[in-house]
Chain A
């Protein structure tokens, strides 16, 4: 480091940056761990869905485009089962989800289901899967009322951003230690090395993902503009900004025009590209509106280029290209969503998301090890609560996730509200493992016990998938079912890694007590 930069970042500035860095990490570390872990899972949400919904593993999708009039409409009729449908939408099959997903809003409630490309309804999947459970947990914590969850996640993200920047300022020897990971010697030093590596080397990704994550929810968490210009009506704001269109029901019945010509017209307007989602609002009404979204496979931007048709005449009602600000916002959002078809990028997003977990986890562990030096062998209540949070948010979260996946394979298909039982199990087991961590923390949280549980659960998931669906690795390879094979492979890797860690930890009882005494003597 040159003399100039040394002057730029004085030791006083470093000291001033250290306490917010520490406090943000210690207080919000558990929450950030949840956000990063669920975000990493969300990258492969479709693949985890296939694993959790065996009925939807119907092989690769046929190349013939799905006919909305001949395949989708009858499926909608069947799902409605005689009730009057008000709105519905269908997500058309694609490479990663070979079935279509339907959602209906009828006069008496909502209905949803999956169907194959030719309109055959599949039995209810009985699970929320990754798309409707892990992924919303990532951005809203499932606290949708008043956008509370969005606010909490956004607050944590801003803290993450502050942590990243203050971390770079605190780090005294960024370039000298750029590649340094001393895995030998003191645990404390190894942890700090790992923390620095995960922070500095993956910094571009962490900065990008944190900033874009905040940018996505800006209209919600900075509502001043929407408040002033639209009287707080977020929907009217999105109508204008994203080129959406909506109109109230007229109350006059009218039949729906054929949908396939509308898709053809949308294709022509896009100049290439595939339809991904088709919405029908005010179905069966003279004021019905059909919206067709473009697939995002071939672009970074999250601009779905919605085309709006009059449902009765089939005429284009609105097709508005976004202005420069909205287009920028869409590109930034797209960088975060990674909805594009690019497997190397998808894997990098997954791995770097997990490296964010490593960053947060090693940060908390380093704090714990350092505090141990300050407080001696008898830790106080603060230390023990951070230890319990660290354990509950790392191994505990893994246990809960894996337990939910195992329950997904074990629960019989017929039980009522099966998906809610799964979700309930996730939270009960998560809370249980956090309580276990809090109760049994003496000189260390129960790492080795929980790692053993992770290993056993992950292995159980692989075996259960094999037993309950008959899809063992060799058959998956033969059927080219890479989604299920990939999930199984990652589960098996998790099991092997967690087992090794738990064995090593079990051998290393009362870890740092010898070096601890040494350091406290100096202090």
Chain B
């Protein structure tokens, strides 16, 4: 993989993983997708599976590019960064959705 794509790829994969996990949380699903009911169980399962795959792919990208030590460290810290980014996105989206409703 080209060097320039490594970081965006790593953070993108982590971001998608946490975005999927965020949607599997009932509160965020109600706020962002369907306000009447929570996510169906099959959807929750699929979202979690997708998240798991994305996380594994991100780990393999990081370790392959930076070696085991640096790769693991980068992956763990990228997880936190991506989770914070997803939380910010959820806040922003929910806020604007509420603004429309009221």
Query: B-contacting residues of A (Cβ < 8 Å)?
Result: 175-176, 178-184, 197, 201-205, 208, 299-300, 335, 340, 342, 344-345, 348-349, 351-352, 355
Contact, CB under 8 Å: B95 / A184: yes
Contact, CB under 8 Å: A205 / B90: no
Contact, CB under 8 Å: B91 / A183: yes
The CA-CA distance from A365 to B15 in the complex, in Å, is 30
Contact of B7 among A178, A182, A205, A344 (CB under 8 A): A344
Could you say which residues of chain A place their CB within 8 Å of the CB of B78?
348
Could you say which residues of chain B place their CB within 8 Å of the CB of A175?
25
The answer to whether the Cβ of B87 comes within 8 Å of any Cβ in the partner chain is: yes
Q: How far is the CB of A329 from chain B (nearest CB, A)?
A: 16
The CA-CA distance from A352 to B77 in the complex, in Å, is 9
Could you say which residues of chain A place their CB within 8 Å of the CB of B76?
204-205, 208
The CA-CA distance from A351 to B80 in the complex, in Å, is 11
What are 20 A-to-B residue pairs whose CB atoms are below 8 Å?
A: A176-B25, A178-B25, A178-B87, A179-B18, A179-B86, A180-B28, A180-B87, A181-B88, A181-B90, A184-B95, A197-B84, A201-B80, A201-B83, A202-B80, A205-B77, A208-B76, A300-B70, A342-B66, A348-B80, A352-B80
The CA-CA distance from A335 to B28 in the complex, in Å, is 35
Tally of A-B residue pairs with Cβ under 8 A?
74
What's the tally of chain B residues with a CB closer than 8 Å to chain A?
29
Could you say which residues of chain B place their CB within 8 Å of the CB of A184?
95, 98
The CA-CA distance from A201 to B94 in the complex, in Å, is 19
Could you say which residues of chain B place their CB within 8 Å of the CB of A180?
27-28, 87, 90
Contact, CB under 8 Å: A179 / B70: no
Contact, CB under 8 Å: B95 / A183: yes
Could you say which residues of chain A place their CB within 8 Å of the CB of B84?
197, 201-202, 355
Residue among A176, A178, A335, A340 having the largest count of chain B Cβ atoms under 10 Å: A178
| 5 tightest Cβ-Cβ pairs between the two chains A and B | A348-B77, A201-B83, A179-B87, A179-B22, A181-B91
Could you say which residues of chain A place their CB within 8 Å of the CB of B86?
179
Question: What per-residue 1/0 map shows which CB atoms of B58-92 lie under 8 Å from chain A?
Answer: 00000000100110011011111101101110110
Could you say which residues of chain B place their CB within 8 Å of the CB of A348?
74, 77-78, 80-81
Residue among B21, B66, B69 having the largest count of chain A Cβ atoms under 10 Å: B69
Could you say which residues of chain A place their CB within 8 Å of the CB of B80?
201-205, 348, 352
Closest to A299 in B: B69
Given A176-B25, A202-B84, the answer on whether A300 and B73 have CB atoms closer than 8 Å is yes
Could you say which residues of chain B place their CB within 8 Å of the CB of A205?
76-77, 80
Could you say which residues of chain B place their CB within 8 Å of the CB of A203?
80
The CA-CA distance from A340 to B66 in the complex, in Å, is 12
Residue among B66, B73, B79 having the largest count of chain A Cβ atoms under 10 Å: B73
Residue among B78, B83, B91, B95 having the largest count of chain A Cβ atoms under 10 Å: B91
Q: How far is the CB of A272 from chain B (nearest CB, A)?
A: 15
Could you say which residues of chain A place their CB within 8 Å of the CB of B79?
204
Contact, CB under 8 Å: B27 / A345: no
